[in-house]
Each structure stands twice: as structure tokens, then as C-alpha cells.
Amino acid sequence: MTDPDLARRIADQFSGRGKRADIWRGFDAFLDTDAFLNLGYSPRYGSHLLGSPQDRLAKLVVAELNRHHRPSTAEDGFPARSAGKLLDVGCGRGGPTYRLGERTPFDVVGIDLVTENVVRAQDGAESSQRRGSDTGLPSFLVGDATRLPFTTGAFSAIVAVDSLVYVPAIGRALDEFSRVLADGGVGVVSDLVADRNAGVPDDDLERFGEAWDMPRPRPRERYLSTMAERGLRVRRVRDLTDNSVGRFRKWSQLYLAVADGPGGGVLERLLRREGLDPDAVTEQVRAAHRALPALRHVLVTFER
């Protein structure tokens, strides 16, 4: 993370401080944000509000990793644990990291910029140990994606679930991915990229990034070429948009119709009653609504 101000804002957003944290408290009502901070994935005809769409995305990442790694299978049906170490970059509160620990053959390490996230993830690991479940439990630490505190070639696999979108110096992060990933290692990244042909003005993408404390989403072509320049060979790109962010615009449209219409006062009072800043929440929803036609949610698999 090269921008100290942005790093501070991200930490505030995910630690319950500052106006950007309010929308996450709103998400608490219908998403499992105690464990998952990533976008979700839902089947074509499934509801994005039933089950845990964020957990479904984590399991999709697991399946993609296992598909390319081709692990052996243990008696319990899960992969045998014999494949080295896996790094989950931007692990958040640990939800996807636990799935990786349960369902892949790796010893898993999660790293996140935000201390509060790592504390929550560690609390989850300790709770699992108290329940007598310690198979595949990850370890967690605080760290920066652009300065990973690991030796060269330390990991057989690397994953980032919707976390690189917050990193302004994406090239430096991918340099680190290439450094810590062993030769022949595999990586899976889910992320938001921009479609240059969607007709969304650059200013709207810039405002979206500002409202959500992230850099402006990068064009898909440039994102993939940046990987290649770092020696990361892209093997597969899967577009998840229709099962993910492609569903969000009808919700943002409904919210803004209420906020900007006769019911706006009622909505404002409801948000304030829940301790949320209606101006901050509406700013973020409006910025997302304008940017959504250009946003693509992709799953990228690569090898070193």
C-alpha cells in the first residue's frame, strides 16, 4: 500500500471508524460480514440474499484452485494435506481463508492490512480450537500486500479474494506475488475490473473509487497484462459479473428511488435510528450505481 492516507481510510472503514464504516454496518443485517468482506456469487436463478453468497464465492475460489492444482484426496473426501503453503492476501475477517484451510491440501496463512480484521480472524481460529476443530486451521498476521513479510518462493499457492481492488500499487503487489510464489505455483484472484467499452465516464469511476476508499477500477486488459509483465502466466479468466455485481444495480436503483423521492425522509430517519449516516450511505450507493455498468467481477487463475 503506497498511499498512507488511503491505507488509513481502509483501516477506518473496516474497523468501524469514520463515515465509510456505516454501510458495512448496514450490510450486517443480511450478510455474514463477521467473517466475509468479499463480494458474493449466486447461481443464475438463485437469490443473492439466500444462504451466503460470499461463502459461495469463497468455495468457487477453492474449486478453481483445486481444479488447477489437482490434489490427491483423503479418506474424508477433502484434499490430502501435502502440498506446501498457501497465502491468502487481504484475508479480511477470515471466512474465505477458513474455506481454503478446510478444502485444499495446503497449510494456509492469511495476511491483511487491517489489524481489526486480523483480530477477528484469529478469534475465529481460537473458537474453532476450543470446539476441538483444529484440522486445517489457518494462521493470520497483519501485513501489506506490496511488502509481504515472507521469503522468496515460500508458497506453493496464492489467493486474493476481492482484496486487490483496494491496492493502489497493483504492480508492486503482483511483484510480491511473483516473488513469494514458488516456480510452478498456482494463484487464483477474484477482483473488480473496468470495461472500457461500457460508456461510463471516467469521472464516475473515479468517484466510485473515492466513495469506497479504493483506487479507480483498472481496465481488464491492463490488469491481465500487468500480471504477465510480472511473470504470472494467466491460464483462465472467468467473468462472474452476471452472478455477482451484475445484480446490484436494481437494488441501488430502488434505494435511490426511495432516497430521492417522497420516502427519502422516512429512509433517513430509519438509517439514523440504526446509527448510520444517511448522507454517507447514499453517497456510496449513488457512486456505485453510476459505476456498475462498467464493473466486471472476474476470477483469474495464473501460474508462475
Q: What is the DSSP letter of 302?
A: E
Q: How far apart are CA 122 and CA 141, in angstroms?
A: 9
At 12, is the pLDDT very low, low, confident or very high (cuts 50, 70, 90)? Answer: confident
| Sheet with strand 295-303: strands edge to edge | 139-142, 107-112, 85-89, 155-161, 181-194, 295-303, 233-239
Task: Look at residue 264 and give its three-state secondary structure.
Answer: helix
Q: Which residues, including other chains, have CB under 8 Å from residue 248's CB and lie 6 or more apart?
A: 288, 292
- Is residue 180 within 8 A of residue 186, CB to CB? The reply is no
Predicted local distance difference test score (pLDDT) of residue 136? 67
DSSP state string for 243-260: GTGGGHHHHHHHHHHHHT
Q: What's residue 68's pLDDT?
A: 85
CATH number of domain containing 154: 3.40.50.150
| All cell numbers assigned to 137 | 486451521
**What number of helices (H) and strands (E) belong to the chain?**
11, 7
Q: Which helix (H) or strand (E) holds 33?
A: none
Q: Cβ contacts of residue 274 below 8 Å, gap of 6+?
A: 25, 26
**Residue range 41-54: mean pLDDT, rounded:** 72
Q: Flag whether 119 is in a domain.
A: yes
- pLDDT grade for 1, boundaries at 50, 70 and 90: very low
Q: What is the pLDDT of residues 213-227, one digit of tens each?
A: 999 999 999 999 999
How far is the C-alpha of 229 from the C-alpha of 231, rounded, in Å? 6
Predicted confidence (pLDDT) at residue 33 exceeds the cutoff of 90: no
Is residue 50 one of the residues assigned to a domain? Answer: no
- Residue 146: inside a domain: yes
Angle at 121 between CA 120 and CA 125, to 5 degrees: 115
49/181 Cα distance (integer angstroms): 36
3-state DSSP call for residue 32? coil
Would you say residue 260 lies in a domain?
no
Q: How do beta strands 233-239 and 139-142 pair?
A: unpaired
Cell of 171: 504492480
- Cα dist from 159 to 111, 150, 189, whole Å: 11, 15, 6
Reported as a single tens digit per residue, the pLDDT across 277-288 is 999 999 999 999
Q: Is the residue at 277 inside a domain?
A: no
Whether residue 273 lies inside any domain: the answer is: no
CB 298 within 8 A of CB 246: no
Q: Quick check: is 261 in a domain?
A: no
Place of cell 484451510: 101
DSSP string of 108-157?
EEEEES-HHHHHHHHHHHHHHHHTT--TT--EEEE-BTTB--S-TT-EEE
Measured N-to-C along each axis, helices 95-103 and 115-130 cross at an angle, to the nearest 10 degrees, of 50
* 262: in domain: no
Grid coordinates in use for 55? 461463502
Taking residues 78-92, report their average pLDDT. 80
Query: Alpha helix (H) ranges present in 183-247?
Result: 202-211, 220-229
Q: What is the pTM of this model?
A: 0.90
pLDDT surpasses 50 at 130: no
C-alpha cell at 8: 488509513
The total of structural domains in the chain comes to: 1
Task: Please state, for a pLDDT cut of 70, what percent of the chain lies above it.
Answer: 88
Q: Is residue 51's pLDDT more than 80?
A: no
Domain that holds residue 129: 4-45+57-202+212-244+295-303
- Mean of pLDDT values over 173-200: 97
Cell 453510476 locates to: 290
